[in-house]
Structure 1
Amino acid sequence: MAASFEELGLSRELLKAVADLGFEEPSPIQILAIPPLLTGRDAVGQAQTGTGKTAAFGLPLLERTTESKGVQALVLCPTRELAIQVSEELSKLAAYRRSIFILPIYGGQPIERQIRALAKGAQVVVGTPGRVIDHLQRGTLRLDGTRMVVLDEADEMLDMGFREDIELILAQSPEDCQKVLFSATMPQPIRDLSKRFLREPEMLTIAHKMLTVPAIEQLYYEVRPYQKMDALCRVLDSEGFRKALVFCATKRNVDEITVHLQQRGYQADGLHGDLNQTQRDRVMGRFRSDGLEILVATDVAARGIDVDDVDAVINYDIPHDVEGYVHRIGRTGRAGRVGRAFTFVTVREQYKIREITRYTKARITQGQLPTLRDVHNIRTSKLLEEVRSTLAEGALDRWRLLVEDFQAENFPEGEAVARDMAAALLKLLMQRDFGAQEAVSESDPLAVPPRPAFDDGPRNREQRPRRRESGPMSRLHLNVGRTHGATPRALVGAITGESGISGQSIGAIDIRNAFSVVEVAAELAEGVLVTLNKGVFISGVRISAKMDEGPDPAPRRAFKPGPRRQPSAKFKKPRGSTTGRKQFEQSQDV
C-alpha cells in the first residue's frame, strides 16, 4: 500500500492542493480507493463521515475531469447540507485547476440560478436526488457526457426514500460511465443496487487488525468544533502535565494550535513534515530536555518520537482509524509509568469512539471538562501545596528577616498584619502565574446545553424571544440578504449547523436587500464569527461575517411567514408515495 499522496499517481496540481490543505499522508480509505478509481473501475466503499472519503472519490474524480464544458461527473448526496460540504471540499482540491467549475444543486435555492450556472458549462455537479431529478425532467441537466457518478452516503439516501430517484438517475447515465458507491453500512438494498448498476465493482473495505491497548487511562470529551482550543487549555491547566503530546490531523492545525498555545503562555512547539531535519532536532531536543511542556504534532512527524516520560497524549483531532489511535496513545505510559490519553470528539465523530472501543476492547470513559471554577480551585490548591511544602522544609530565616523588616517599616505600631500579608503574597503569585483571578464567572462558554435534534429556527421577531431576558446579545453582519434568497430558516440552519450552537442562542433576525443582521448570545458570538468566516455558504453565497456596530435593527418591518407553498401539480411525479423528507425537498424545489 502507498504511504504518501505522491505514490498514488495524482497530478502535480492536485498534490499541491492537498499540501495546501495540510494533509501529510492519505487515510486508509484513500489509500485503498484512489488507485482503482483512477483506472476507471466501478467501486463500492464502506466508509463513514470523517474518514476522508470525500477526497477518496474526489481526487480521482477531479483527475479524470477535463476542461471541456458539460457535466462530466455527478455526486449525489442525501441532504443539501452535505451537498454544500462536498462541493466546498472538491473546490479546495481543485484550487489549481481553475477551469473546472463545481456546482452544488439542491432544494431551497432558486432553481433559475442553478439553470443559468448549468448553461455556462459546469463540469462537476453535486446535488440532492430530488433537485437532480427536477433538472433532468426540465432538460437543464444532461448526463450524456458523464464519466463518473458517485453516490455518497447511499444507505442514508435509501433510508430517506430516494431509491426510485437514484435508480432513475443511474439508468439515465451512460452504460460505460464509472459508478462509485460509498455507504457507512452494507444492507441488502445497497447490495442489490450495486449488482444492478455496477460492473464488477472493486470492494473497498478497511480490515482492522486485532489490537491491544496498553494499560493507559483513557477519556474522551464531547465538544463542538469551535470549542476545541478552549477545551485543550482546560485540560492542560487542570492536569498540569510536565510533558504532553497533542496530535492533530493536518500541518495547518499544528501551526495554528502551536501559535495559540504560545500566545496563552504555554511552553509549546510544533512538529510536522514541513520542518527540515535541523528544525526537527531542535524541537525534539527541547522536548526531551524539559525545555518544552507541550509538543503539537501530526502522525507522520510523531513516528520518530522516542520519549519515555510523556505524561499524556491528547487527540485534538481523532485519528481516522483504530490503528492510528493505538499508535498515538502508546507514546505515553512507557517504562512502567502511568499514562493518560484524552480525546476530543464532536457529535459526528461519536461512531469512531465506539469503533475504537469495539476493536481494542479498551475502556474509554466519557469525561466532563473542568469548569472555570474547577481550574481556578485546582491552581489555588497546587500553589497552597507548594507553600505547605516550603514551610515543611524550613530554612526560612532569611525570608523571615525580610518580612520582619517590611513589617517594622510599614507598620511601626506593631499591627497584626501577618494574615493580610500572606493573602497579598498569594494574590500576587496567582496573578503572576495564572493571570487575574479576582472572580470566576458562573457562565462557562464550554457548558453549552445539548443541541436539540431539530430546531426550526426563528420565524419572526415577535414569535422567538431572546435567549434570556438579561442575557447580552451581539449582532452579526452577514453579506447575504433578500436579493440572494436568504431566509430566517436558512440563516439559523447554517449558523446552528456549522457552529454547533443551540437555536435558542439566536435572537432577532433582520434581512435587508444586500445583507442580514443576526443576534447571537454575546458569549458565543466570537466563536460563531470564526466558524462562519471559514468558508460557510448560505443561499449559495460564501459568507463574510463581522460584528455589526450599527443601530438596533428593530424598527425594520419584521419577517412574517406566509403559508407553506405546496408543490405545483405539473411537477408531481407519477410514481408511488414519497416519504415526508422527499415531500419537503420537493416543496423547497418549487
Structure 2
Amino acid sequence: MSVQTFAELGLSDDVLESLQKMGFEAPTAIQAQTIPLLLNGHDVLGQAQTGTGKTAAFAIPAIEKTDASLNEVQVLIQCPTRELAIQVTGEIQKLSSYTGGLRVVPVYGGQHISHQIKAINRGAQIVVGTPGRTIDHLKRGTLKLNHLSMVIFDEADEMLNMGFREDMEEILTYKDQARRVQMLMFSATVPKPIREIMKRFMVDPVSITIERSPVTTPDIRQYVVEVRDSVRVEGIARLMDVNNYKLGLIFCNTKVATEEVSQQLQSRGYSSEILNGDLSQGQRDKVMHKFRSGYIDLLIATDVAARGIDVDDVDVVFNYDIPQDPEQYVHRIGRTGRAGKSGTAYTFASGRRMRSIKFIERITKSAIESVRMPSLKDVKESRMTLQLTELGEVLAKGGLKPYIEQVEALSEISYSSVEIAAALLKMRMETLEKNRSDFNEDTDFSPEPDYREDRKFKKGKKNRDKGRKKGKGDFVDSRDDSNMQTLRFNVGRSDKVRPGDLVGAIAGESGIPGYTIGHIDIQSNFSFVDVPSDKVSLIIDKMGKAQIRKKKLKVKPA
C-alpha cells in the first residue's frame, strides 16, 4: 500500500505543521521509502537523482531524531558544494520552524570561519557543511563529534568526482568510535569507492533505488527558459502575450507558490485561479468550470491537485518549478496537445538546476530546446500583429456600412480615412496595454551562476556576498544585480509574513510596480528585499507609515 500523506509516516505534529505551512501535500517515492527506515535506525544507501525530494527525505528524520535540549552537534550533513550546503540548511530551517530550540549551522569555504565558530559555540545540533571546511573545524577542535548520532552524505558520487573521498573517510574517523552512528548516503550512481565506504563504515545498510517505468513524452514542443527565479512570472506573461496563448496551465511544487504566482499574475492583468489541496470539492469544481469555459487565462496548480484535469484546449504548460520526477514532468506537459492539437511546454531553470533538465531529457529520451526570453519589442510587435489580424477578420465579415458613414463624415471635416483608422488602432492598442500591466524594460533575465565549493573564488563573483551579513539562518543570494539594493524589514516568519505581503505593502505605499521588486528572503524576525536602487529613499520614507500584520514597519538598508 503506497503512502499518500506525511501523517502516515508517523511524524511529529511540529514537523507536520511545517510541511503544511510549506505547502507539501504528499511524500515523493524516495521520501516514503527512506524516512521510515531512518526513523527506525537503519543505515541507508539511497540511489536518487536531483529533483526527487531527497533533501526532505533525510532532513525530516534528522530533525525528528535530534534532541533540541542538548546543545551538542548530533547530526552532520556533508554536501559537495557551498550552494547545496546553503540550500540544505534553508530547507532544514523551514522544516524545523515549529521545533523549538533546534539550531542549524552551515560551514563552508568563502565565509569567515570566525562567524561559523561563534554559531557552533552557541549550541548547534545540526551542522551542514562541505568537506574541506568541515575538516578545518575538526582539526581546530571547533567542531566536536562526541555526541554525533547521524551522518549524511548528500550527492556522494559528486563528492568523489570532486576528489573528496579521503575527506569523507577522514571526517568519519573523528566520531566516537564506541558510539553507534547512523549513516546515510544519497548518490545518483554507486561506484566502487562508495561501496568500499559502505563496507567500512555502515552496518547492514538498506539500499533503496527508485525504480522508474519507461517514460516517454508525447508529441509536444518542449522548451527550457534559463532565467533567474525572480522574473519567472514576467517570463510567463511575456510568453503568453508573444504567442497569443488563450489557455495556460502553470505547475508549482508547493501550495504557497501557487498563491504567490496567482497574486503576481492578477496584478499584471491576467485572470488566474489556484488549484491546490486547500480547496474543497465545491471550490475545485467552480475553478475547473471557469477554466474549461475560458473565463480564466491561467490555472496554477500543484501536481496532487491537478490529478484528473482533462481539458482539451490547453495551449501551453509552464513548469514554474522543475518537477521532482521525470514522470511528473511527462504528466504535466501531457495536459497540452490533446485531441489531435499541437501543444507547447516551457520549463524555467537556472544554475545547477539545469542538471535536472538534462536528467529529464535522458530519462524521457526527448530534446528540450533552450529558448531566450521574448523582449519587450517582441511583445509589442506580437500585440500589433494580433490587432491587425483581427482587423482583417472584421473587414472580411462586412456589415460596416453604418461605421463607414461615420468615418466619411469625419474625413470630410479634417482627417483622412487612413488617419482615422490609425487613431482607432492606437486606441485599441492603448486599451490592450492598460489591461496588461507594463513590463519591466530593464529586467535582468540572466540566470544565477552555479558556484562550486572548495574552488578558488573568481573576483567577478565576490558581489554575491556583498551588502548582506551572514549569520544564523541567513541565505546568500548568488545574484549580482547592479541596479538593485537590499533593504531590511523588521518583520519575518514569526509575524506570519509572506512574500506577497511585502510586495503588496511596498507597491501600495510607494507606488512602484510590484514586478520591479527582486529577491525576497524571509527570516525568523526580519526580511531582506531587493528593490531598485533609485527607489530606496522613496520606499524607506513611505514604509515609515505602513504596517504589515498590524506591526509598524521599520526599514533600512541591509
TM range (shorter): 0.7 to 0.9
- Does 2:286 correspond to 1:288? no
Task: Point out the more displaced range, 398-407 or 17-26.
Answer: 398-407
Distance 2:56 2:161 in 1: 24
Shift of 1:320: 1.0
Q: For 1:160, which of 162, 166, 170 is the aligned residue?
A: 162
* Change beyond 3 A, Cα 1:431–1:545: closer
- Does 2:533 correspond to 1:531? no
Q: For 1:93, which of 84, 95, 117 is the aligned residue?
A: 95
- For residues 11-30 of structure 1, what are the structure 2 equivalents within 5 Å? 11-30=12-31
Gaps (5+ residues) in structure 1?
465-475, 486-490, 511-524, 553-590
Q: For 2:214, which of 194, 210, 214 is the aligned residue?
A: 210
Task: Point out the more displaced range, 182-191 or 113-122.
Answer: 113-122
Which structure has the bigger radius of gyration? 1
- For residues 308-387 of structure 1, what are the structure 2 equivalents within 5 Å? 308-387=312-391
Distance 2:25 2:467 in 1: 34
Q: Give the aligned partner of residue 425 of structure 2.
A: 426
Q: Is the contact made by 1:477 and 1:548 (CA closer than 8 Å) also made in structure 2? A: no
Distance 1:107 1:455 in 2: 10
Distance 1:432 1:10 in 2: 54
Q: Counterpart amino acid of 1:14?
A: V
Distance 2:432 2:132 in 1: 59
* Change beyond 3 A, Cα 1:450–1:181: closer
Report the 3-state secondary structure (helix = DSSP H, G, I; strand = E; otherwise coil) of the residue aligned with 1:182: strand
- For residues 4-153 of structure 1, what are the structure 2 equivalents within 5 Å? 4-69=5-70, 70-153=72-155
Report the 3-state secondary structure (helix = DSSP H, G, I; strand = E; otherwise coil) of the residue aligned with 2:348: strand
* Change beyond 3 A, Cα 1:432–1:149: same
Shift of 1:226: 1.9
- Does 2:262 correspond to 1:258? yes
Q: Is the contact made by 1:28 and 1:321 (CA closer than 8 Å) also made in structure 2? A: no
Deviations 1:400-448 (A, max 9, x none): 122233345xx2xxx45211111111111001012499x999x663554
Distance 1:494 1:528 in 2: 20
* Change beyond 3 A, Cα 1:316–1:436: closer
Distance 1:108 1:52 in 2: 27
Deviations 1:137-180 (A, max 9, x none): 33333222211111122223333333222212212324521001
RMSD: 3.5
Shift of 1:508: 12
Q: Is the contact made by 2:48 and 2:54 (CA closer than 8 Å) also made in structure 1? A: yes
Give the percent of matched residue pairs that are identical in Structure 1 and Structure 2.
44
Q: Counterpart amino acid of 2:30?
A: I
Shift of 1:107: 3.5
Deviations 1:40-76 (A, max 9, x none): 1111123344332221100011011122321111112
* Change beyond 3 A, Cα 1:90–1:428: same
Q: Is the contact made by 1:371 and 1:444 (CA closer than 8 Å) also made in structure 2? A: no
Task: Point out the more displaced range, 91-100 or 128-137.
Answer: 128-137
Matched length = 499
Report the 3-state secondary structure (helix = DSSP H, G, I; strand = E; otherwise coil) of the residue aligned with 1:296: strand
Q: Counterpart amino acid of 1:22?
A: G
Q: Give the aligned partner of residue 306 of structure 1.
A: 310
Report the 3-state secondary structure (helix = DSSP H, G, I; strand = E; otherwise coil) of the residue aligned with 1:214: coil
Shift of 1:318: 1.8
Q: Is the contact made by 2:519 and 2:529 (CA closer than 8 Å) also made in structure 1? A: no
Shift of 1:550: 11
Distance 1:224 1:447 in 2: 6
Q: For 1:232, which of 229, 233, 236 is the aligned residue?
A: 236
Shift of 1:458: 5.6
Report the 3-state secondary structure (helix = DSSP H, G, I; strand = E; otherwise coil) of the residue aligned with 2:345: strand
Task: Point out the more displaced range, 448-457 or 35-44.
Answer: 448-457
Shift of 1:529: 6.2
Distance 1:281 1:507 in 2: 44
Deviations 1:521-565 (A, max 9, x none): xxxx998963253559xxxx985656667999xxxxxxxxxxxxx
Q: Is the contact made by 2:226 and 2:446 (CA closer than 8 Å) also made in structure 1? A: no
Deviations 1:354-412 (A, max 9, x none): 2223232334333333222122111111110111111111110111122233345xx2x
Report the 3-state secondary structure (helix = DSSP H, G, I; strand = E; otherwise coil) of the residue aligned with 1:301: coil
Gaps (5+ residues) in structure 2?
487-512, 538-558
Q: Counterpart amino acid of 2:443?
A: P
Shift of 1:310: 1.8
Q: Counterpart amino acid of 1:400?
A: I
Q: Is the contact made by 1:477 and 1:546 (CA closer than 8 Å) also made in structure 2? A: no
* Change beyond 3 A, Cα 1:132–1:349: closer
Shift of 1:241: 2.0
Report the 3-state secondary structure (helix = DSSP H, G, I; strand = E; otherwise coil) of the residue aligned with 1:103: strand
Q: Counterpart amino acid of 1:421?
A: I
Deviations 1:214-233 (A, max 9, x none): 22222222222222111111
Distance 1:188 1:21 in 2: 38
Deviations 1:87-135 (A, max 9, x none): 2211111101121111222334444443443333321112222333233
Distance 1:360 1:55 in 2: 25
Shift of 1:16: 0.7
Q: Counterpart amino acid of 2:107?
A: I
Shift of 1:301: 0.8
